[in-house]
Structures are given as C-alpha cells and as structure tokens.
C-alpha cells in the first residue's frame, strides 16, 4: 500500500500558518508519544525556524511508559525542549504553561526593554492530524472552545483562543506532508489514525500491526483475544496462509466474526484489532523507539 494523504485543506492550512507565523512568539508542536519521529511534520520544523519551540509528546497514557522515558532523553540530548503529557488530563498540562513562558523569556525581556507591558504571548499549536491539538488547547485554557473528535481533519481553519489575559493560542488544522520519503512513516501515521481511513487497506494495516506487536509485545494478541500460539500454527499448516492472515483468522474465530456460511471474517477482525490498538485496549504500546 502506498501511504499518502494530502488533501487541499492541508495545503491551505500550511499557507495560513506561514502567513501567521510572524504574529506568534512560539510554536508548540504536538507529536504522538507512540510514534514521536513519524509524528513530526518536517514542514512544521521548517516553519518554526528562528522561533521559540516546544515539543509535546502527547497521548502518553497510551504509550509504553519505559519507551516514553527513553524518548524524553533522546529529545533532551538533541537540545529539544520536550514535555510528556496526556492532553485529557488538566493537571498534566498545567506544567506546560510554565514551559511556554520559560521558552518565551527572551521575548518577554525584549518587550520589557522596549517598555511594552503585558503583551500576551502568542503561541501556534501545530502538529499532525488527530494528535490532540484542540484537546490540549481546551484543557490548557479550561474552555471547550476548540472542536475535537477522534478522527483526522476535525479542525479545518484557524482559531485564536485566549488563556487568561497573558496568552493567546492559535489552533491549526492537522497537517501531513506531500510525500513520505520512507513508507514506514506513512504506515505508522496510518496506524495511530492520523490518516483518513477511507484511503487505507484495513487488512494490510492490521497485518503490519500484528507484525509490530509480535516483535515488541509478544503475547499481547494471544492474551487479548484468548487463543494460543499453537492455534495460529495449526491454521498456517491447514490453510497454507501467511502468519498475519492466520492471526486474523484466529481473532475472527475467537471473537465470532464470521461470514454467512461460517468462514472467518478477516476484514472485521482487522478492523477490530486496529480499533483496539487505537483505543489502547491492547495496553500501552509504543510503535517507535529511539
Ligand atoms: N488517550 C488520549 N486521548 C487523547 C489525548 N489527546 C487527545 N486525545 C483524543 O484524540 C482525539 C483527537 O483529538 P483532537 O484534539 O481533536 O485532535 P487534533 O490534533 O485537534 O485533530 P485535527 O483537528 O483533526 O488535526 C480525540 O478523541 C481526543 O479525545 C491524550 O493525551 N490521550
Ligand atoms: Mg483540532
């Protein structure tokens, strides 16, 4: 499968962000703690050159805590200011406010010298689709001004939101980039739900997910769907199908996803495991490690 999603609203969004960049003091970039590298859009990096920057590793409640710790070290070693958060938890993101102020201290000093008093800090909140930008803004400001939803492409235009009298946050639409140099990046974005599912082959995506899980989280699948590894071997022997399809068959059997006539419904099983992964029902899983 060729992973790609770059609809017109993203081209418009990046243009809007380029136009607004001169108004902001800092870029707050959200990435997904389960895929911290693939979750960073190079176009946002380019946009933010010369600006104060803050990277937030979001959705840490769904990621493997040990791996998240390694990522924090990784970014810190690269000199990137990074905070791990769960945007759904207001207490988590209170600390972010202090980090924003700290990252903007040069600007605050400059204002002071010029005799400008109380000009609010302006922050652009940017990142890939569905990473949690609008949720983060809502919890940080304690309002539900920004529209959120568990699918990519919810925010379509820009929206300024006030945080008290001293900070303004710009919510932006999630953006991907025109071409992934490495298709694995696209795969990872698709897995976490940052890409429109309509363009994706669920079966293929599930097979890739199964490979990743079996490599790094060995018994997660068999435990979750209550079958044994030997059942998978049996299916492979009997049906002569690849391992991924055999896993989907075992999941379908276990969850009674059957087609008329009683054959296992692999498509439904594929949808099931992807949905379970995206909703952290397989536990806390990190796809990428440093
Ligand atoms: N578990 C968990 N879910 C989160 C977190 N942050 C956001 N979400 C969920 O992720 C989904 C997407 O959140 P949004 O805030 O709409 O994401 P967005 O980045 O604004 O998305 P677009 O506007 O489509 O680019 C929603 O279902 C949120 O509830 C988090 O830290 N943990
Ligand atoms: Mg949004």
194 belongs to a structural domain: no
pLDDT for residue 223: 98
pLDDT of res. 107: 85
Nearest CA to ligand 1 atom 14: 132
Does the pLDDT value for residue 108 go beyond 90?
A: no
Assess if residue 184 is contained within a domain: no
Domains contained in the chain, number: 2
Which protein residue's CA is at the shortest distance from atom 11 of ligand 1? 150
Q: Do 167 and 237 lie in a common domain?
A: no
Q: Are 58 and 85 in contact (CB under 8 A)?
A: yes
- In this prediction the pTM is 0.95
Give the DSSP letter of residue 119. P
Same-domain pairing of 14 and 158: yes
Cα of 131 vs centre of ligand 2, distance in Å, is: 8
Q: Give distance in angstroms: CA of 154 to centre of ligand 2.
A: 5
Give a yes or no: residue 62 inside a domain.
yes
Q: Residue 29: which CATH number?
A: 3.40.50.300
Residues 125 and 221 in one domain: no
| Residue 30 lies inside a defined structural domain of this protein | yes
Is residue 290 one of the residues assigned to a domain? no
Q: From 61, 62, 130, give the residue whose CB has the most ligand 1 atoms within 8 Å, as the site to mutate.
A: 130
Q: What is the pLDDT of residues 241-267, one digit of tens each?
A: 999 999 999 999 999 999 999 999 999
Same domain? 237 vs 153:
no
93 pLDDT above the threshold of 80: no
CA 1–ligand 2 middle distance (angstroms): 27
Q: How far is the CA of 65 from the centre of ligand 2 (A)?
A: 25
Are 155 and 205 within one domain? no
Q: What is the pLDDT of residues 18-27, one digit of tens each?
A: 999 999 999 9
111 and 225 share a domain? no
- Ligand 1, atom 3: nearest CA belongs to which residue? 59
Same domain? For 14 and 155 the reply is: yes
Atom of ligand 1 nearest to the CA of 148: 16
Q: Which CATH number covers residue 213? A: 1.10.1580
Backbone angles phi, psi at 7, to 5 degrees: -70, 165
Atom 7, ligand 1: residue with shortest CA distance: 132
Q: Are residues 219 and 112 in the same domain?
A: no
Q: Is residue 20 part of a domain?
A: yes
- Rounded Cα distance, 163 and 125, in Å: 13
Q: Residue 103's pLDDT band (boundaries 50, 70, 90)?
A: very high
Ligand in nearest proximity to the CA of 29: 1
Q: Quick one: pLDDT at residue 89? A: 86
Ligand 1, atom 16: nearest CA belongs to which residue?
148
Tokens matching residue 133: 């930008």
Distance 141 CA to ligand 2 centre (A): 15
Q: CA-CA distance, 287 to 2, in Å (whole number)?
A: 19
Give residue 144's domain range.
8-171
Interior/surface letters 146-159, b for 16+ CB within 10 angstroms, e for the rest: bebeeebbbbeeeb
Determine the distance separating the centroid of ligand 1 and the alpha carbon of 86, expressed in angstroms. 10
């Amino acid at each position: 499968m060729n992973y790609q999603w770059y609809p017109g609203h993203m081209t418009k969004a990046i243009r809007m962000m380029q136009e607004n960049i001169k108004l902001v003091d800092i870029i707050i970039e959200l990435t997904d703690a389960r895929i911290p590298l693939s979750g960073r859009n190079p176009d946002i990096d380019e946009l933010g050159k010369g600006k104060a920057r803050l990277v937030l590793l979001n959705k840490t409640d769904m990621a493997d805590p040990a791996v998240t710790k390694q990522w924090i070290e990784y970014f810190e070693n690269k000199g990137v200011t990074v905070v791990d958060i769960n945007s759904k938890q207001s207490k988590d993101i209170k600390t972010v406010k202090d980090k924003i102020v700290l990252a903007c201290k040069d600007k605050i000093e400059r204002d002071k010298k010029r005799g400008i008093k109380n000009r609010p800090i302006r922050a652009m909140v940017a990142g890939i689709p569905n990473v949690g930008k609008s949720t983060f803004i809502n919890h940080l400001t304690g309002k539900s001004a920004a529209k959120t939803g568990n699918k990519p492409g919810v925010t379509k235009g820009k929206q300024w939101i006030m945080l008290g009298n001293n900070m303004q946050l710009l919510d932006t639409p999630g953006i991907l980039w025109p071409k992934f140099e490495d298709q694995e990046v696209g795969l990872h974005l698709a897995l976490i739900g940052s890409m429109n599912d309509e363009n994706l082959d669920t079966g293929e995506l599930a097979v890739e997910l199964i490979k990743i899980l079996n490599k790094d989280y060995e018994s997660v699948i068999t435990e979750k769907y209550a079958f044994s590894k030997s059942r998978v071997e049996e299916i492979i022997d009997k049906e002569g199908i690849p391992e991924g399809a055999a896993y989907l068959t075992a999941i379908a059997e276990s969850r009674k996803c059957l087609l008329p006539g009683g054959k296992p419904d692999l498509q439904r099983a594929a949808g099931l495991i992807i949905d379970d992964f995206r909703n952290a029902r397989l536990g806390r899983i990190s796809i990428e490690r440093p």
